Amino acid sequence: MKPMTDLTPLEDALRVVLEKSEPLETETVSLPEALGRFLAEDVRADTDKPLFDNSAMDGFAVRSADLAGASEERPAKLKLTGESSAGSGESLRVQEGTAVKIFTGAPIPEGADAVVPVEYTEVRDGFVYVKRSFGRGANVRFRGEDVRKGDLILSRGQEVRAYEVGLLASVNRAVVRVYRRPRVAILSTGDELLEVGEPQTRPSQIRSSNHHMLRSLVEGAGGVPCVLGIAPDDPEQLLGWLRTCSRYDVFITTGGVSMGERDYVQHLVGKAGIKVLFHRLRIKPAKPVLFGTYGGGGLFFGLPGNPVSCAVAFDLLVYPAIRSMLGAREVFRRKVKALLVGGYSRRDAKRREFARARVWFDGGAYRCEPLPKQQSHMLTSYVGANAYLIVQEGVRELGEGEEVEVILL
């Protein structure tokens, strides 16, 4: 076994990965396609918003001066002269002693300077009776009070969520410039692997979960998954696959990257033009992770075969790389402090551990409970998990109620 000093600390590995993960080229996409992408341009308001003074309420547009002293007992009496509904009413006027019926979003008629909500009024015989006074500007949404024409409303690097899609539409943008999504190849390796639906012919075969899980992880991170399927532990076939790496921005393999005799990936990557930058990390699970680069900006990740290790390695290293290629400003998942419920202990404290855990908010703080079955082949440890509990190097024991750091999934 190689000595522990061979293991790369996570910080160093992350620094190397992020140094090599540049935002990709930009492209122009339609609004629905923009969801989940990151803006590659600044977006400015096309007009003042609102573009015209309009009503914030259903009610009556009035001159506030006409309401002086109005009360329940002595309501102001105003003659109704028209109606302004959303999308109409542009030519209406309110003169002294008159009012115009108005609806939310409708233009304020010339001469009016306030809107009386309908609940303070009564209508009889062509007149509206107003039972209290309202000041200038009451219930009026003024031109430009949200943004002025030319104001910066979204800046480069901003994630396009549903809200930004709405904002872009509101400034008349049908298309927007964003960073391209990385194309990510996914290859499971192992003679024992069986595709979902394939009949089991030998008891030693296992279902390949990794490439299915990775497809969803890549998709969730914003990448474009390209699933290549399962490759046997055969150097020639593996090399054939690895040599296709230049077709993708990222190439992920799982399995065959550890210390076994049939773990070929590490011995083949060089022949495929992949330059190895680190192998083996000081973390648990997911020690055997190989990272390298190829071509002009391609990233290679040889992830461990054990499904939990594969997932942890993806979350810690591949996820930030994909976010960075997408042009995200914040590439990491959220980390918070939590109070440990139930304690946690381990025998070997040499590596930083990422234990699947359940986190919830209670009594003003996050609480974190590690889940059972923490071994790296037990994917069931993710059932009910929404976080990784971080156990630092050198820490053997964490007590009940102790403050810990967690990564939210």
Strand 387-391 to strand 352-362: parallel, antiparallel, or no bridges (unpaired)?
antiparallel
- Judging by beta carbons within 10 Å of its beta carbon (0-12, 13-18, 19+), is residue 379 exposed, middle or buried? middle
Residue 223 in the binding site for Mg ion (CB under 5 A): no
Asked if 78 and 60 touch (Cβ cutoff 8 Å), the reply is: yes
Beta strands, E only, 234-316: 250-254, 275-279, 283-284, 290-294, 298-303
The C-alpha atoms of residue 154 and residue 34 are separated, in whole angstroms, by 13
Residues 72-91 interacting with Mg ion (rule: CB under 5 A): none
Contacts of 248 (CB under 8 A, 6+ apart): 182, 183, 184, 185, 226, 298
Label residue 276 exposed, middle or buried (CB < 10 Å: 0-12, 13-18, 19+): middle
Tell me: does residue 285 bind ligand AMP (CB under 6 A): no
With CB under 5 to 8 Å by kind, the binding choice for 370 among Mg ion, ligand AMP, none is none
Please identify, using beta-carbon distances, which residue of 225 and 256 lies nearer to ligand AMP: 256
Rule CB under 6 A: say whether 84 interacts with ligand AMP: no
> 258, 266, 293, 381: which one contacts ligand AMP (CB under 6 A)?
258
Q: Which of 223/256 has CB closer to Mg ion?
A: 256
Does 266 interact with ligand AMP (rule: CB under 6 A)? no
What is the token pair recorded at 224? 């474009």
- Span of 90-98, 250-258, 353-361, 388-396 interacting with ligand AMP by CB under 6 A: 250-258
282-311 positions binding Mg ion, by CB under 5 A: 305
Contacts with ligand AMP in 376-395 (CB under 6 A)? 377
Which of Mg ion, ligand AMP, none is residue 307 near (CB under 5 to 8 Å by kind)? ligand AMP
Q: What are phi and psi of 145, to 5 degrees?
A: -75, -20
215-244 residues in contact with ligand AMP (CB under 6 A) are none
Q: Which is nearer to Mg ion, 107 or 255 (CB)?
A: 255
Q: Which of residues 297-336 bind ligand AMP (CB under 6 A)?
A: 304-307
Q: Is 210 in the site for ligand AMP (CB under 6 A)?
A: yes
List 150, 166, 260, 399, residue binding ligand AMP (CB under 6 A): 260
Q: Is 331 left (phi over 0), alpha (psi -120 to 50) or beta?
A: alpha
190 binds Mg ion (CB under 5 A): yes
Mention every residue, 6+ apart, whose C-beta is less than 8 A from residue 397. 343, 344, 345
H or E element that contains 325: helix 319-325
Paired tokens of 398:
């964490």
Residue 188 binding partner per list Mg ion, ligand AMP, none, with a CB distance cut-off of 5 to 8 Å that depends on partner kind: ligand AMP
C-beta of 313 vs 326, nearer to ligand AMP: 313
Q: Does 188 bind ligand AMP (CB under 6 A)?
A: yes
Kindly write out the interface string for residues 235-264 of this chain, putting x where it contacts Mg ion by CB under 5 A and - elsewhere. Answer: --------------------xx--------
Question: With CB under 6 A, what is the number of residues at the site for ligand AMP?
Answer: 20
d(C-alpha 400, C-alpha 373), whole Å: 19
Peptide bond into 307 cis (omega under 30): no
Candidates 139-147, 163-171, 253-261, 343-351: pick the segment binding ligand AMP (CB under 6 A): 253-261
Instruction: Tell me which residues touch ligand AMP (CB under 6 A).
Output: 188, 190, 192-193, 206, 208-211, 254-256, 258, 260, 263, 304-307, 377
